[in-house]
Structure 1
Amino acid sequence: MIEAQSLTKRYGKKLAVDDLSFSVTPGKVTGFLGPNGAGKSTTMRMILGLDKPTSGQVRIGGKRYEELRHPLRTVGALLDAKWVHPNRSARAHLLWMARSNKIPTRRVDEVLDIVGLSSVADKRAGGFSLGMSQRLGIAGALLGDPEVLLFDEPVNGLDPEGILWIRQFMQRLADEGRTVFVSSHLLSEMALTASELVVIGRGKLIAQSSTEEFVARATGQSVKVRSPQLDVLSKALSAEGANLTDTDDGLIVSGLDSERIGEIALAHNVVLHELSPQRGSLEQAFMSITGDSVEYHAEAGTGPGTETSNPLPTTDN
């Protein structure tokens, strides 16, 4: 379990993380979302002891990272896929990591096999593609068979087959009871991968909830209705205070749930051909909730190079 309490991080006058508290529980894939410059990378670095908080604290399994005797056995992380000496082979890189934490050397070949790099284990890591480097980084995260795993943009450089593999792999790790915390800009992928979300903006917590709750709260509730008697049904629904939007083959109804719409249709002897709740996308929800936390916006309806004069985002993501 990861527990962050009032985390704050300043770099000079820049406030990167602002009194941030959240928890990441075992048995779920928890997505970590936020616009560019929101403080996600800084937060992950503080979790791993790479950056010291200005105030507040973060604990992994009840301990600070620096208190862990053999940290790779407790927490594994992929923050930078290219963090490897280019002249070392994949196997040599992992052997070095294993020795530093007293991990049996046989584990190196096990994780190379898990991520599909056994055939290139003795090749220079500097010649790897980004996708292969991602797989090597994941192997390093798994090396100590840890209970807590952090991944920052783990699908970068992966082909569709690789993206599907890492999605299923992270879900399998969570099903084993591990704590899985993953940051990604690919919202469509996060919608398929994460059951829980931590969303931040400008260093502050915006929301922590299930993915389903986050989308429902941000995009509202609507129902698609098709019927050969739309005129009758429209009048009845309007009388109940529903908001109606015409479509090519029916109505989108907001303000009433599907059960109430069905009851109204029955009361007016209206035949229904479709009554289906409409769920917004994670992307729509994210844009709706984080809009005020984006550091710059493009002018609507304008071409490239016409952004507003708001500051450019920082390199932290």
Structure 2
Amino acid sequence: MIELRGLTKRFGGQLAVDGVTCTITPGRVTGFLGPNGAGKTTTMRMILGLDAPTAGGVTVNGRRYADLPVPMREVGALLDARAVHGGRTAYHHLLCLAQSNRIDRRRIDEVLGLVGLEAVARRRAGRFSLGMSQRLGIAAALLGDPAVLLFDEPVNGLDPDGILWIRNLMRDLAAEGRTVLVSSHLMSEMALTADHLVVIGRGRLIADTGLEAFMRGGADRSVLVRTAQAATFGDRLRAAGAEVRRDRADALTVSGLDSAEIGRLAALDGVPLVELTPRGQSLEEAFMALTRESVEFGVER
């Protein structure tokens, strides 16, 4: 478990993290979302003791990271896939970490196999592609078989097979009862991976909720209606109080009425429907709506 209590960080006059309080619990994948510059990486660095809070605090399993006697056995993290000595082989990079945390060297072969790097274990890490470096970083995070795992943009550089692999890995780790915190800018991937979301903007917590609740919250839910009588049926729906947008000659997007009400009106008017599909907003749409005022580097649309 990771607990943040009033966590605050200033860099000179810049407030990077502003009083964040939340709990990352075991048994689920928690997606950590926010626009660029929101404070996600700074928060993760404070969890790991790499940056000191200006105020507030953070604990892992009830203790500060710096107080953990053998940290890699309790917390595994991937923050920067390229933070590896380029002259070391993958095996020797992991060996150095294992020896510093009293981890049996047999575990090295286990994690190399788990991430699919056993064939390149003796290759120098400086010659790895970004995707291979990500896999090595994940191997390092798993080395101590920790109960708490943090991943910052873990799918960067991975091919589709690798993305599917890391998605399933994170879900499997959570299913084992571990605490899994993962940040990503890929909303489509988070929609498939996360169970719970923590969202920050300009350093402040703006959401701490389940994935489904987040996507429902404030949603302008709509219904896709397809009919050859789209023009006249659209007028009928507007008269009934709906908002109607005509997308194609035979397609309407309707909000303000649910599918049952639309179907009832169609039956009353004898309008044959080809399609009647309720549609909610996507995670990307919900995220963009919630964080619109928190974007630091935006463009006019």
Q: CA deviation at 1:31?
A: 1.2
- Residue 17 of structure 1 aligns to a residue whose secondary structure is strand
Q: CA deviation at 1:175?
A: 1.9
Where does residue 292 of structure 1 map in the other structure? 293
- Residue 7 of structure 2 aligns to a residue whose secondary structure is strand
TM-score (norm 2): 0.92
2:14 maps to 1:14: yes
Where does residue 65 of structure 2 map in the other structure? 65
Where does residue 135 of structure 2 map in the other structure? 135
Letter in 2 for 1:258: S
Structure 1 residues 1-317: aligned runs within 5 Å: 1-227=1-227, 230=230, 233-234=233-234, 237-248=237-248, 249-266=250-267, 270-300=271-301
Q: CA deviation at 1:229?
A: 5.5
Q: Hey, what's the Cα distance between the residues in 1 that align with 2:114 and 2:22?
A: 31
C-alpha change, 1:259 and 1:24, in structure 2 (3 Å) is: farther
- Residue 247 of structure 1 aligns to a residue whose secondary structure is strand
Check the 8 A contact 2:36/2:297 in 1, yes or no: no
Alignment identity in percent? Answer: 61
- Residue 107 of structure 2 aligns to a residue whose secondary structure is helix
Give the unaligned 5+ runs of structure 2: none
Where does residue 311 of structure 1 map in the other structure? none
Q: Hey, what's the Cα distance between the residues in 1 that align with 2:229 and 2:62?
A: 61
Q: Hey, what's the Cα distance between the residues in 2 that align with 1:214 and 1:14?
A: 29
TM-score (norm 1): 0.88
Q: CA deviation at 1:232?
A: 6.8
Q: CA deviation at 1:218?
A: 4.8
Moved more, 266-275 or 14-23: 266-275
Give the unaligned 5+ runs of structure 1: 301-317
Moved more, 74-83 or 19-28: 19-28
Letter in 2 for 1:9: K
Q: Hey, what's the Cα distance between the residues in 1 that align with 2:259 and 2:53?
A: 48
Q: Hey, what's the Cα distance between the residues in 1 that align with 2:223 and 2:25?
A: 33
Q: Hey, what's the Cα distance between the residues in 2 that align with 1:209 and 1:265?
A: 37
C-alpha change, 1:291 and 1:231, in structure 2 (3 Å) is: closer
Q: CA deviation at 1:260?
A: 3.4
C-alpha change, 1:18 and 1:247, in structure 2 (3 Å) is: same
Check the 8 A contact 1:232/1:270 in 2, yes or no: no
Check the 8 A contact 1:26/1:179 in 2, yes or no: yes
Check the 8 A contact 2:245/2:253 in 1, yes or no: yes
Query: How many aligned positions are there?
Result: 300
Letter in 1 for 2:81: A
Q: Hey, what's the Cα distance between the residues in 1 that align with 2:69 and 2:258?
A: 54
